[in-house]
Amino acid sequence: MRPSSVPPFSELIGDCQRSAVHLEMRDTYEGYDDGGRFAEWKRAGGITPAFAEDFRPWMETVREAVGRGVEMRRARVVSEPVTDYIRFEHEASHLNQEAGEQVRWLPRRDAATLLLPGADLWIFDDRLIRFGHFTGNGALDCNEMCDDPAVIKKFSEAFEAVWQRATPHERFTV
């Protein structure tokens, strides 16, 4: 694993040919909330047009990747009852979907018999993993890369197990 040589996400997704999957394991990313989007959501009581505008660069990244044939899937493992941060993510997930990203949700109790990683991750084309290490309050500590085929195989299988059990976004209620 290489914590010191992590390319920017734009480069990783730009090199992607077939699939990019994201496994989220935390109940809050409040410490990572760049731009205060979560705080704004709480103040406004919902997703605002300003939030949607701030989210546009991500949507363009997804659209570009999906447009060249990359399947993008995001699975979130969440505790129930969900945290306010998860409510915020759930409400905003329609923007991910509008851009072409598939989103599913798995209650943590339904993941109890699965072997899961100890960190969030992105897997690119089943050839490269970017682990995201977060602090207790959800701030990003660092990213770490892994290209070990055995590790990639193990966590690709873990993602697929989550994906099979998870509920599609439009049917998951918080």
Q: Which sequence spans correspond to the domains of the chain?
A: 9-171
Higher pLDDT, 160 or 4: 160
Mean pLDDT of the chain: 94
Per-residue confidence (pLDDT) for residue 152, from 0 to 100 = 98
Of 61, 105, 108, nearest in space to 87 by CA: 105
Give phi and psi for 131, each to the nearest 5: -85, 140
Per-residue confidence (pLDDT) for residue 36, from 0 to 100 = 87
Per-residue confidence (pLDDT) for residue 107, from 0 to 100 = 98
For residue 154, give Cα distances in angstroms to 76, 91, 162.
18, 31, 13
Neighbouring CB atoms inside 10 A of 138's CB total 17
Which helix (H) or strand (E) segment is 160 a member of?
helix 149-165
> What is the identity of the amino acid at 55?
F
Q: For the sheet containing 140-146, what is the strand order?
A: 140-146, 128-134, 120-124, 19-24, 71-78, 102-107, 167-168
pTM here?
0.94
Task: Quick: pLDDT tens for 33-68.
Answer: 767 889 999 999 999 999 999 999 999 999 999 999
Per-residue confidence (pLDDT) for residue 1, from 0 to 100 = 46
Reported confidence tier of residue 147, pLDDT bands at 50, 70, 90: very high
Residue 95 token pair: 């923007």
* 9-171 CATH: 3.30.870.10
Give phi and psi for 24, each to the nearest 5: -110, 130
Does 115 score more than 50 pLDDT?
Answer: yes
Place of tokens 């129930």: 80
Taking the C-alpha atoms of residue 126 and residue 149, their distance in angstroms, rounded to an integer, is 8
Per-residue confidence (pLDDT) for residue 137, from 0 to 100 = 86
C-alpha 11: how far from its chain's center?
17
